[in-house]
Amino acid sequence: MWIGYKILIVSHLITEIWAEKQYLSQREVDPGADFTRNHTILEGTRFKRAIYKGQYCRSFGCCEDRDDGCVTQFYEVNALCYCDTFCERENSDCCPDYKSFCRGEKEWLPHATPWYTEDRWTAQNYSQFWGMTLEEGFKYRLGTLPPSPMLLSMNEVTAVPAIIDLPEFFVAYYKWPGWTHGPLDQKNCAASWAFSTASVAADRIAIQSKGRYTANLSPQNLISCCAKNRHGCSSGSIDRAWWYLRKRGLVSHACYPFLKDQNTTNNACAMASRSDGRGKRHATKPCPNNIEKSNRIYQCSPPYRVSSNETEIMKEIIHNGPVQAIMQVHEDFFHYKSGIYRHVTSTNEKSEKYQKLQTHAVKLTGWGTLRGAQGRKEKFWIVANSWGNSWGENGYFRILRGVNESDIEKLIIAAWGQLTSSDEP
Ligand SMILES: *[C@@H]1O[C@H](CO)[C@@H](O)[C@H](O)[C@H]1NC(C)=O
Ligand SMILES: *[C@@H]1O[C@H](CO)[C@@H](O)[C@H](O)[C@H]1NC(C)=O
Ligand SMILES: *[C@@H]1O[C@H](CO)[C@@H](O)[C@H](O)[C@H]1NC(C)=O
Ligand SMILES: *[C@@H]1O[C@H](CO)[C@@H](O)[C@H](O)[C@H]1NC(C)=O
Ligand SMILES: *[C@@H]1O[C@H](CO)[C@@H](O)[C@H](O)[C@H]1NC(C)=O
């Protein structure tokens, strides 16, 4: 079983901290002499290289104390990084996966396990779902209303320039490091309508502003403020979420963080926005926390629908950034741990009553191809869920691509950031 994807999607935080601090590194090494570790693992196809790209300590091992030979190449920033205990000092020069691999739970299998033999997804009995019935899973972990007829009748946009050669493997994070946002955890708040919309909007604004605005946007802002009849944590529609992003705008996730308890009185909308008459909106109140000072409002263009054609979706992602997808969730999806998800119809009589579906909204952020056991090629999407990093492949999942698995290709939505000319980089 190969579960390296968890590391492939590198922890944004660690990477950011690392990138910030790399220049402060006090290690004196000769990169030529020290970069002597075994590289054979990195040879092979472009795909394979891409796979190992995010794996540092995982490929090269962890070391105790100070070991200046315990170094590998950090490709994304063309520098060296370390997997020894010493790297964890104030000016950290640890590899991005040091904490998760060397310090985290050692649940990883040795990398000698061939990555290409996996053609079936694996399940896990998640502790976060213990004590929850399936009905409750459907009720609290999803929360996107079926798309409205208006949304479904939207014209598909295919304005993207015709591309050339789509790579076999693509992750938005590699093209736009630091500009795309990893999965949050909606907990028992049925608001994937808000989480997926805020996340797609945040990525799009960062990409469009060329990194000037990289804040993640606040799902709580949507949950608390975007609801005529206030049912934020008990489902919502993405039409409404995009309407709010266009007309009212959202503050950052840091400014308006996710509330632990959605049922308390303080989940009333903490701020509104008003126009300054020149097309820009401003928050009416400071952030509802003492740490974040910036209550800048971010807005989007009206959403547009991308064609359901696999190639068109890929083109849209590689040119403009991640997109929102609506999918049907079956009972087995909750237990997904790794691999390429496809719904497995249960023959178990007991679970037949659970053969129902609910709608969920997620973020498509890349794709790839894997060779299955019989040499069969399996194409997949790489998708960000909103059930935290402990679910699936570090919060992401892969799902069959090109066959409308679980309706994942049925409705693809994206939008542009609304940046005024003074916002342009
Ligand atoms: C590199 O790895 C290969 C395969 O894992 C092994 O056969 C070889 O001996 C290693 N070379 C060094 C220098 O460690
Ligand atoms: C999942 O794990 C919990 C705790 O160990 C156990 O009570 C439960 O029966 C398990 N569920 C399944 C489907 O294995
Ligand atoms: C919050 O309150 C609503 C209505 O009062 C209730 O239906 C829901 O179960 C509560 N949610 C949680 C997570 O306690
Ligand atoms: C999808 O679009 C591509 C061109 O972008 C086209 O070649 C292909 O035939 C389309 N596929 C389907 C199933 O329509
Ligand atoms: C995907 O499947 C759903 C349900 O079967 C269907 O309504 C939809 O038209 C399909 N979309 C595509 C692009 O095949």
Q: Which atom of ligand 5 is nearest to the CA of 309?
A: 13
CA–CA dist 176, 365 (Å, integer) = 11
- Beta carbons of 396 and 278 less than 8 angstroms apart: no
Least confident of 26-35, 66-75, 115-124, 355-364: 26-35
DSSP class of residue 16 equals H
Mean pLDDT for all residues in the chain: 77
- What is the pLDDT confidence band of residue 130, given thresholds at 50, 70 and 90? low
Mean pLDDT (whole number) for 100-117:
43
Which residue's CA is the nearest one to ligand 5's atom 7? 410
Which residue's CA is the nearest one to ligand 2's atom 14? 125
Distance between Cα 38 and ligand 1 center (Å)? 6
**Cα-based angle 340, 346, 352 (whole degrees, multiple of 5):** 135
Whether the pLDDT of residue 346 is over 80: the answer is: no
The Cβ of residue 238 has, within 10 Å, a number of other Cβ atoms equal to 25
Distance between Cα 404 and ligand 5 center (Å)? 6
Which residue's CA is the nearest one to ligand 5's atom 12? 410
Domains and CATH numbers, the chain: 37-108 (no CATH), 122-414 (3.90.70.10)
Mean pLDDT (whole number) for 225-243:
81
Mean pLDDT (whole number) for 185-198:
92
- What is the pLDDT confidence band of residue 115, given thresholds at 50, 70 and 90? very low
pLDDT tens for each residue of 276-311? 888 789 999 999 888 888 999 999 999 999 999 999
- Higher local confidence (pLDDT), 198 or 388: 198
- Which ligand has its closest atom nearest to the C-alpha of 262? 3
Q: Which atom of ligand 3 is nearest to the CA of 263?
A: 1
Whether the pLDDT of residue 109 is over 50: the answer is: no
Give the helix, strand, coil percentages of the chain, each rounded to 5: 30, 20, 50
pTM for the model stands at: 0.71
Backbone angles phi, psi at 197, to 5 degrees: -65, -45
Distance between Cα 410 and ligand 5 center (Å)? 5
CA–CA dist 419, 301 (Å, integer) = 9
Which residue's CA is the nearest one to ligand 1's atom 7? 40
Which residues have CB under 6 Å of ligand 4?
309, 311-312
Mean pLDDT (whole number) for 214-234:
83
Whether the pLDDT of residue 223 is over 80: the answer is: yes
Whether the pLDDT of residue 4 is over 50: the answer is: no
Q: Give which of 235, 241, 190, 247 is closest to 218, Cα–Cα.
A: 241
The Cβ of residue 131 has, within 10 Å, a number of other Cβ atoms equal to 7
Q: Give which of 383, 373, 387 is closest to 406, Cα–Cα.
A: 383
Structure tokens at 63: 């070391």
Q: Give which of 76, 80, 36 is closest to 54, Cα–Cα.
A: 76
pLDDT given at position 235? 86
pLDDT given at position 85? 84
- Beta carbons of 315 and 166 less than 8 angstroms apart: yes
Say if ligand 2 is within 6 A of residue 348 CB: no
